[in-house]
Structure 1
Amino acid sequence: MSEVDVIYEDNHLLVVNKPTKLATMGAAGQPTLHSLGCDYIRRTCNKPGKVYLGIVSRLDSMTSGVIVLARTSKAASRLTPQFANHSGDGARKTYLAAVSGRVEQQQGELVDDVYKDETAHRMRVAHHARADAKEARLEFHLMGYHNDSTLLRVTPLTGRKHQIRLQWSEAGFPILGDQKYGSERVWPNGIALHSWRLSIIHPTTKDRMAFEAPIPEAWKNRLGSSLFT
């Protein structure tokens, strides 16, 4: 991976389609979305020196899909609060998730109290009161089935780390390929979680803008194209 897959760009935003197995930032000695994005701006904008590119939200390395980066510090300061607010003027995210088993409910909500297990480097659901637990909420809609798997459209209502992965595992339907959270089934590349659509308020024009990352071909090959039409 030496190039970023650009969905949209202007003087304030760089919106890209992140592949799986690429960290957003912070992977020592390895390419990251941030480093590749900076290289892209240096090359396309003829900026040989230091390039600013602000991280305003993250995707797990094993998750693919749309993510926005800020090209100026002012844009970053205006975008970051949107990802802490999932209503009104906040950012709106929609994921696709393929889970093991058949979810029978057509639509609904998952609500859990979650906390970070620092020793195990993962999140956990709190089954008893804990001072460090925070509420995680998401909405889902059923899209269809493929054998003993379910395709879901998922909208997080809070921004907890790994919350989609953890909450579906806790519900008994782990995301395909996600061994950290209980999946015993493989997925062609990464895990079956894709950041499909993202809507934000533009930091300078104040217009709401929506972006979409194409559904990976591996998903269509594995689950059948008819589920996505």
Structure 2
Amino acid sequence: MKRETNNSVIYAVKEPGELLPFLLESMKNSSRNSVKSILTRGQVTINGEMIKQHNHLLEIGDKVEILSNQVAESISKIEGVTILHEDDDIIVINKNAGILSVASEREKEFTAYRQITEYVKRLNPKNRIFVVHRLDKATSGIMLFAKSEKVQQALQNTWSDTVKERMYTALVEGNIKKTEGTISSWLTENSSFKVYSSPVDNGGQHAITHYKKIQSNKNFSLLEVQLETGRKNQIRVHLEEIGHPVAGDKKYGSTGNPLRRLGLHATALSLIHPKTGKLVRYTADVPQAFLIKSK
């Protein structure tokens, strides 16, 4: 089954199989090399997620979309962010470290918001995007944008119920003795915008962070961190509190910068999709530089 839009051609998968044979069968007027090039350029999405692997397994009901050259060109102009998923309601990206989520007084141009705004406007000048949540400039990983104010408000108003998982990967100083643990405290921000932690309720915001050790050596530990609450600088403050600050985080106790960036990456986001009501999960690969060898 084939359906055409202004920016793409969409095929419905009727039987299981690998992606490349499916494309060759569906695009009979195109040569094998041409179809391979379309895959390599990132013009193929499956259920909204860009796929380049020839042997990706398709399931019945999958939606395979071939993006137009115009869309592919627009994607190629994006700097500092990678689109992980896009549909009629949301855009999910992987933001590089060093890129602001939104504009500040000092930086108004080179932000994730600006990049994705320009991307959608290249396809249609009337298109807009709306910020749902943010990442620190020094943190890389998953961010979510809405394509309408209605979807933005729906997500923000029900965020604590809608979001089922916010997982980060953190490279921290020292070898954490415990394989897993939970940190609970109240966070307050001072006039210089630094967040402090208190073990008792001092009128601040209650914050809960869960962590699990994945790798370690005598100098560093790699942690999988799950947020039960999403407070400003929560992970950074909590990990400093247990004596293992995030690598490169001078503001919160780090003494070195082995990665030449903050050792924090938003790895996974699971939520109830605002339109379909289904649970969806998006992931961004952990930067290779984070990985350490056990000793």
TM-score class normalised by the smaller sequence: 0.7 to 0.9
Partner of 1:53: 129
Gaps of 5+ in 1: none
Whether the aligned pair in 1 keeps the contact of 2:132 and 2:144 (CA below 8 Å) is yes
Matching residue of 2:99: 22
1:9 aligns with 2:82: no
What corresponds to 1:207 in structure 2? Answer: 278
- How far 1:3 moved relative to its partner? 5.4
Equivalent residue number for residue 72 of structure 2: none
Deviation at 1:59, TM superposition (A): 0.7
Q: Contact between 1:20 and 1:189, CA under 8 Å: does it hold in 2?
A: no
1:78 aligns with 2:157: no
Higher deviation after alignment, 119-128 or 206-215: 119-128
Larger radius of gyration: 2
2:168 aligned with 1:95, yes or no? yes
1:219 is displaced (CA, Å) by: 2.0
Query: CA-to-partner distance for each residue in 1:31-82, whole Å, 9 max, x for gaps?
Result: 1111111011112xx2235x42111111111000011110111211221134
Q: Residue 194 of structure 1: SS of its match in structure 2? A: strand
Q: Which has the higher contact order (CA 8 A, sep 6+)?
A: 1
- Percent identical across equivalent pairs? 27
The answer to whether the Cα contact below 8 Å between 2:169 and 2:224 also exists between their aligned partners in 1 is yes
Report the residue type matching 2:272 in the other structure: I
Contact kept, 8 Å, 2:170 with 2:265, in 1: the verdict is yes
- Report if the CA contact (8 A) 2:186-2:200 is conserved: no
Residue in structure 2 matched with residue 39 of structure 1 by the alignment: 118
**Cα offset, 1:175, TM superposition:** 0.3
- 1:124 is aligned to 196
Residue 159 of structure 1: which of 230, 237, 240 is its match?
Answer: 230
User: Aligned AA for 1:40?
Assistant: Y
Q: 1:141 aligns with which of 189, 212, 229?
A: 212
Distance 1:158 1:128, change over 3 A: closer
Residue 62 (structure 1) aligned with residue 138 (structure 2):
yes
- Output the CA distance in 2 between the equivalents of 1:121 and 1:138: 21
1:217 positional shift: 2.7
Name the aligned partner's letter for residue 38 of structure 1.
Answer: T
Tell me what 2:184 maps to: 111
Structure 1 residues 202 and 129, CA gap change in structure 2 (3 angstroms) = closer
Checking the alignment, whether the CA contact within 8 Å between 1:96 and 1:194 is kept in structure 2 is yes
- Equivalent residue, structure 2, for 1:177: 248
In structure 2, the residue corresponding to 1:180 is in which secondary structure?
A: helix
TM-score (norm 1): 0.87
- Which stretch of the first structure deviates more once superposed, 13-22 or 100-109? 100-109
CA distance in 1, matches of 2:242, 2:125: 50
Aligned to 2:265: 194
Q: Gapped runs of 5+ residues in structure 2?
A: 1-77
